[in-house]
């Protein structure tokens, strides 16, 4: 059977389960709790899309929910511990409110060890599904309502099935779009290649079709997602790269901003770097995880570039587009990291001058090569972490303050968290900015004058047009 026919067939099947739940189950209040990265956030949007089709309403408190879904992350130990804590609390809730259903999905369920631990320690879990089986949720719910003790599916199903699902996007004006799945890099500290499997790229025409549809429905900004988007297309027989894909998306009417993440420094090509000059819709923002500044540590991490290679790429990016804002992921306390290695990280941070950074303390993940290396004591890791922030924050503040007095374009996303008479949004450079505004501003791209700034955000004033 053709792939398309197969998907149609499966969709009919899914629709049958959806109808069944919609018609036969009365108590339908759901809460989806998402841990981890944008990939998970987007998966949760697919989950809520399915739930809405089944007639579920959404609540914010576990006590009000009839169905609780935990979409989990495995990247760090603390993320897993958080899920175990939540499952422990739900155990108590379930002893009071018998008919609630608890489902667990995401990266943790792709790992046999974590999955078995959940099954053994938390018999209150009713449903388990993997990262490629979101479309199975209606069927699993049905078997659970029919009395199955644990309804589970973590088989490696063809990815295109989940791609065929819609997504209940949090904002219709900005959307995540998956362009590839999995990772082939096997960085020695990372669990992702074991949970999300090998790299596979989605075909360009499918991606373009999805984005055209999104644009018709009001999406102005798309963020292309993948663990290593720079190797997009490498699995195709014909030559088609991320730069080619960006060019096609740049031509779509209605799309005004394009972002992508995450990149790998070893795979970022000159062709892609030049896209930051040639494509008017590609935002002035690049997230390029460095992880560490010491070439010795980078080698132990299996990152396949040196400190000098990385700095050369950054120089090239800055030369091609002097307005680009730079972001990164940095890890401290990787096994064997010496004081000298750590000083290399601080040196790199000072040289690059990041606009923003995600900072992590190395967390040992079982069965990864780094778990077998000599670990750095916790105290040293924490102390280095603080020293890293002491260097990063003043740089961020200086870079943000350089925006004071400038007029920037802001995609307004929501009311400000702290003050409802303010709205907040992102500049082209992905800087968070707050300013006086109202509901009608949300979803628009507005001109704003920057009045003030600190390490984490800007404050502005709307320019009346």
The footprint of ligand 5AD (CB under 6 A) covers 75-76, 189-190, 289, 291, 329, 331, 360, 362-363, 365
Residues 6+ apart with CB under 8 A from 202: 159, 160, 163, 178, 179, 180, 181
* Count of residues interacting with ligand SF4 (CB under 6 A): 10
Stretch that binds ligand SF4, among 63-71, 148-156, 180-188, 445-453 (CB under 6 A): 180-188
Could you say which of 55, 193, 218, 336 contacts ligand SF4 (CB under 6 A)?
A: 193
Report the SS3 class of residue 191.
coil
Q: Extract the tokens encoding 124.
A: 């209150």
- Is 183 annotated for ligand binding? yes
Binding-site string for ligand SF4 from residue 245 to residue 264, where x marks contact by CB under 6 A and - marks none: -------------------x
Neighbours of 195 (CB within 10 A): 23
Q: How far is the CB of 291 from ligand SF4 (least distance, A)?
A: 7
- Is 73 annotated for ligand binding? yes
- Is 283 annotated for ligand binding? no
Do residues 436 and 417 touch, judged by C-beta distance below 8 A? no
- Residue ranges of alpha helices (H) inside 326-377 are 339-352
Could you say which of 68, 183, 268, 346 contacts ligand SF4 (CB under 6 A)?
A: 183
- Is 105 annotated for ligand binding? no
Per the DSSP assignment, residues forming a β-bridge with 282 are 258
From the list 102, 98, 92, 90, the residue with the least C-alpha distance to 127 is: 102
- Is 190 annotated for ligand binding? yes
Q: Which is nearer to ligand SF4, 279 or 361 (CB)?
A: 361
Q: Which is nearer to ligand 5AD, 151 or 229 (CB)?
A: 229
Could you say which of 131, 132, 175, 227 contacts ligand SF4 (CB under 6 A)?
A: 227
Q: What angle do CA 31, 33, 106 make, to 5 degrees?
A: 120
Q: How far is the CB of 190 from ligand SF4 (least distance, A)?
A: 3
- How far apart (Å, rounded) are the C-alpha atoms in residues 17 and 73? 28
- How far apart (Å, rounded) are the C-alpha atoms in residues 76 and 73? 8
Burial 352-375 (b: 16+ CB within 10 A, else e): bebbbbeebbbbebeebebeeeeb
Q: How far is the CB of 326 from ligand SF4 (least distance, A)?
A: 18
Q: How far is the CB of 211 from ligand SF4 (least distance, A)?
A: 24
- Is 107 annotated for ligand binding? yes
Q: What are the DSSP calls for 114-174, one per residue? A: HHHHHHHH-TT--EEE-TT-GGGHHHHHHHHHTT-S-EEE-----THHHHTS----S-TTE
Instruction: Note whether 290 binds ligand SF4 by CB under 6 A.
Output: no
Sign of CA dihedral 376, 292, 242, 287: positive
Instruction: Note whether 370 binds ligand SF4 by CB under 6 A.
Output: no
Q: How far is the CB of 455 from ligand 5AD (least distance, A)?
A: 20
241 binds, among ligand 5AD, ligand SF4, none (CB under 5 to 8 A by kind): none
- How far apart (Å, rounded) are the C-alpha atoms in residues 210 and 239? 21
Instruction: Note whether 228 binds ligand SF4 by CB under 6 A.
Output: yes
Specify binding-site residues for [4Fe-4S] cluster. 37, 73, 107, 183, 187, 190
State the residues that interact with ligand SF4 by CB under 6 A.
183, 185-187, 190, 192-193, 227-228, 264
Specify binding-site residues. 37, 73, 107, 183, 187, 190
């Amino acid at each position: 059977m053709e792939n398309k026919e197969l998907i149609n067939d499966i969709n009919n099947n899914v629709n049958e389960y959806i109808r069944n739940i919609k018609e036969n189950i009365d108590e339908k209040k759901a809460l989806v709790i998402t841990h981890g990265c944008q990939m998970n956030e987007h998966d949760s949007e697919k989950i809520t899309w399915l739930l809405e089709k089944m007639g579920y309403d959404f609540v914010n408190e576990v006590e009000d929910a009839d169905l609780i879904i935990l979409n989990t992350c495995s990247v760090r130990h603390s993320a897993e511990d958080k899920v175990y804590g939540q499952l422990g609390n739900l155990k108590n809730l379930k002893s009071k409110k018998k008919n609630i259903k608890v489902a667990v999905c995401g990266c943790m369920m792709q790992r046999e060890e974590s999955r078995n631990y959940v099954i053994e320690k938390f018999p209150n879990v009713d449903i388990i599904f993997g990262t490629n089986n979101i479309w199975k949720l209606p069927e699993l719910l049905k078997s659970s309502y029919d009395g199955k003790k644990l309804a589970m599916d973590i088989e490696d199903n063809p990815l295109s099935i989940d791609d065929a699902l819609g997504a209940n996007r949090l904002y219709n004006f900005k959307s995540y779009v998956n362009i590839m799945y999995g990772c082939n890099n096997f960085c020695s500290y990372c669990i992702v290649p074991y949970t999300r499997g090998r790299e596979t790229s989605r075909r360009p025409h499918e991606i373009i079709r999805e984005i055209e549809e999104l644009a018709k429905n009001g999406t102005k900004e798309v963020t292309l997602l993948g663990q290593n988007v720079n190797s997009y297309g490498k699995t195709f027989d014909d030559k088609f790269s991320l730069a080619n894909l960006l060019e096609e998306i740049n031509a779509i009417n209605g799309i005004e901003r394009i972002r992508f993440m995450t990149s790998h420094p070893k795979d970022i090509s000159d062709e892609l770097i030049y896209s930051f000059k040639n494509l008017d819709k590609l935002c002035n923002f690049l997230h390029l995880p460095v992880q560490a500044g010491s070439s010795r540590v980078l080698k132990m991490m299996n990152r396949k570039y040196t400190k000098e290679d990385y700095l050369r790429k950054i120089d090239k990016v800055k030369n091609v587009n002097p307005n680009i804002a730079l972001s990164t992921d940095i890890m401290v306390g990787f096994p064997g990291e010496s004081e000298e290695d750590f000083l290399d990280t601080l040196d790199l941070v000072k040289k690059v001058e990041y606009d923003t950074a995600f900072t992590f303390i190395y967390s040992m993940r079982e069965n990864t090569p780094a778990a077998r290396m000599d670990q750095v004591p916790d105290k040293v890791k924490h102390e280095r972490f603080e020293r890293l922030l002491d260097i990063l924050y003043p740089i961020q503040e200086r870079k943000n303050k350089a925006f004071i007095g400038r007029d920037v374009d802001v995609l307004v996303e929501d009311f400000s968290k702290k003050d409802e008479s303010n709205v907040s949004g992102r500049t082209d450079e992905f800087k968070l900015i707050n300013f006086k505004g109202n509901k009608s501003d949300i979803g628009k791209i507005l001109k704003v004058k920057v009045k003030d700034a600190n390490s984490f955000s800007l404050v502005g004033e709307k320019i009346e047009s």
